[in-house]
Amino acid sequence: MKISYSGKPDIQIIPSFTAIKGVDKKLFKGEAGESLIIPTEKKLYLGLGKKDKLESADVRATFAKTAKSLMTGKYSKIGIKWNSALNKFSTEVLEGFMLANHHVAKYKTGKELKKENEKLIQELIVPKELKKESGDIVKVAEAVHYVRDIVTGPPNIVTTDYVANEAKKIARAGAASIKVYDKAWLKKNKMGAILGVNAGSGKKGAKLVVLDYKPSGAKKAPIMLVGKGLIFDSGGYNLKPTKHIEDMQQDMAGGATVLGVFKLLKQLKIKRRVVGVIPLTDNMIDSDAQRPSDIVTAYNGKTIEIRNTDAEGRLILADALAYGVKTFKPEYTIDLATLTGACVVALGDRYAGVMGNDKKLIEGLVAAGEKTDELLWELPIHKDFKEAMKGIIGDIRNADNGTSYMAGSSKAGAFLEYFVDKSKWAHLDIAGTAYVSKPKAHESQYGTGYGVRLLAEFLRAL
Ligand code: BES
Ligand code: ZN
Ligand code: ZN
């Protein structure tokens, strides 16, 4: 969507806290949630409710809803009549509107596809006072849409090669260096945990993508972002049943989010060095597939008892984290992963889980999420959970026996902590927020792009 500062809109949004002179009060009083289109006048009256009760998340949602209501194919240029009470919410107004302007029917063809594309709004006309911030917001919304498309995309198209190629494109455009390591390199570097997960995937490759954004003058110790890039999670021999397996192409959302952030680093002029590490593989079943009771050796030399082949995300993250902290010695390590069903049960789609070993880092992430309405809720890593993840014949195990449903998200976090050494680290479990069947106002169905805005905000605030 283009933003412009003058022109004649197909329809003008008129936000208001009160009734409007000449408009029937039965139809519009300016209350929150009200919206009245008068096509003959090319106007949409939008109720904002009580001025002193206006909250940023509500403003974002209101404008997102309005955008969706206008995505019928009839309107391509939309104007907003500015109300000075919106000045402090200008980011939310633009963001809500732009985030909503997206569709998921990318794999439809012919007329059907054309119809979906024509529903998108092409141009938003706003006052020129918003020029300064609007450029960045367009970029941010594009990055969120980009992540949604990758997460929603089918796993026979969005393959390891596909994601690695996207990473290359992003590196090229975003002034980051990139390395895409293949299976031979993973073997040479003894990344037994990623290779174990990949073992049943036949010709489908395993890769480790490493991006490095190093703006001039940045200090050496980077912020490291590690994203789970599991192309399709069948569960492996602990096969997922019907109703749990269908949407498991979403399991690379953590990796896609890291790509979305890298798309933005140069555009938002982030001043810190940022390293991105994305382990990529499927979790499939053939005669070479990993079995429960196998033991693998991770990059840091620790042996892992495979108790459940469906707890594969923590395995690929184990190698990626251990490699990343050793190679880059980051100031902060943040990983993102659709890691546990337990997190979906605990927090639903409203909060992602956050846990880690550094209070300040967690507080910074929570604060960024409050600003962008990508909320985080801290879960504990009790030492008993670390204990529960210890192995009996090996060092640790990827699932504890029998009781893995108890504090499942925390135990996954406890497992990961064995691989971050002394790095200040936070883990975001985005299993409930990265992919939804019931989207919120600013979201699309399926991939949400959750986390891109949060991390961009976190990096900006550093
Ligand atoms: N990818 C799943 C987690 C998931 C579930 C993501 C639902 C999105 C929606 C993960 O690999 C997994 O299967 N975790 C297991 C762990 C268990 C075996 C210890 C789970 O949550 O059941
Ligand atoms: Zn799994
Ligand atoms: Zn998974």
- Compute the average pLDDT of residues 295-316: 98
**CB-based contacts of 172, cutoff 8 Å, min separation 6:** none
Q: And the tokens for 398?
A: 């990827």
pLDDT at res. 405:
77
- Residues annotated as catalytic (active site), given as ranges: 240, 314
Query: In Å, how far are 15, 35, 58, 63, 368 from 50, measured between CA atoms?
Result: 12, 15, 12, 16, 26
Name the strands in the sheet holding 77-80, side by side, starting at the edge strand that comes first in the sequence: 2-4, 123-125, 77-80, 11-16, 43-47, 35-38
pLDDT at res. 403:
73
- Compute the average pLDDT of residues 363-386: 98
pLDDT at res. 294:
98
pLDDT band, very low/low/confident/very high, at 266 (cuts 50, 70, 90): very high
- Compute the average pLDDT of residues 396-422: 92
- Nearest CA, atom 17, ligand 1: 311
Query: In Å, how far are 34, 46, 73, 79 from 37, measured between CA atoms?
Result: 10, 9, 15, 13
Residue with tokens 């996954």: 412
Distance CA 25, CA 247 (A): 46
* Ligand that comes closest to the CA of residue 340: 1
Q: What is the mean pLDDT of the chain?
A: 97
Strand extents, DSSP E, 88-217: 123-125, 176-181, 207-213
Residues β-bridged to residue 213: 176, 274
Residues β-bridged to residue 125: 4, 79
Q: And the tokens for 170?
A: 């992003």
Nearest Cα to Cα of residue 50 among 67, 33, 75: 33
pLDDT in tens, 60-101: 999 999 999 999 999 999 999 999 999 999 999 999 999 999
| Beta strand pairing call for 207-213 and 176-181 | antiparallel
Residue 450 pLDDT > 70, yes or no? yes
Residues β-bridged to residue 45: 14, 36
Contact yes or no for 49/83 (Cβ under 8 A): no
Which phi and psi angles does 195 have, rounded to 5°?
A: -65, -35
d(CA 410, ligand 1 centre) in Å: 13
pLDDT in tens, 214-242: 999 999 999 999 999 999 999 999 999 99
- Nearest CA, atom 8, ligand 1: 431
Residue with tokens 């209101």: 62
Ligand 1 within 6 A of CB of 316: no
What percentage of the chain reaches a pLDDT higher than 90?
97
Torsion over CA: 14, 15, 18, 19 (sign): positive
Query: In Å, how far are 61, 72, 150, 238, 337 from 341, measured between CA atoms?
Result: 27, 36, 21, 14, 11
CA atoms within 13 A on the CB side of 289: 22
Atom number of ligand 1 nearest to Cα 308: 18
Torsion over CA: 421, 424, 428, 429 (sign): positive
pLDDT at res. 182:
98
Residue 361 pLDDT > 80, yes or no? yes
Ligand 1 within 6 A of CB of 414: no
pLDDT at res. 404:
64
d(CA 239, ligand 3 centre) in Å: 11
pTM of the model: 0.98
d(CA 72, ligand 3 centre) in Å: 37
Mutate to test the pocket of ligand 1, among 228, 281, 340 (most ligand atoms within 8 A of CB): 340
pLDDT at res. 16:
97
**SS3 (DSSP) at 187:** helix
Atom number of ligand 1 nearest to Cα 240: 13
Query: In Å, how far are 254, 281, 435, 447 from 150, measured between CA atoms?
Result: 11, 15, 11, 8
Nearest Cα to Cα of residue 224 among 118, 330, 338: 330
Ligand 1 within 6 A of CB of 166: no
Distance CA 268, CA 275 (A): 16
d(CA 83, ligand 3 centre) in Å: 46
Q: Is 286 exposed, middle or buried (0-12, 13-18, 19+ CB in 10 A)?
A: exposed
Residue 456 pLDDT > 80, yes or no? yes
Residue 443 pLDDT > 90, yes or no? yes
Which phi and psi angles does 388 have, rounded to 5°?
A: -65, -25
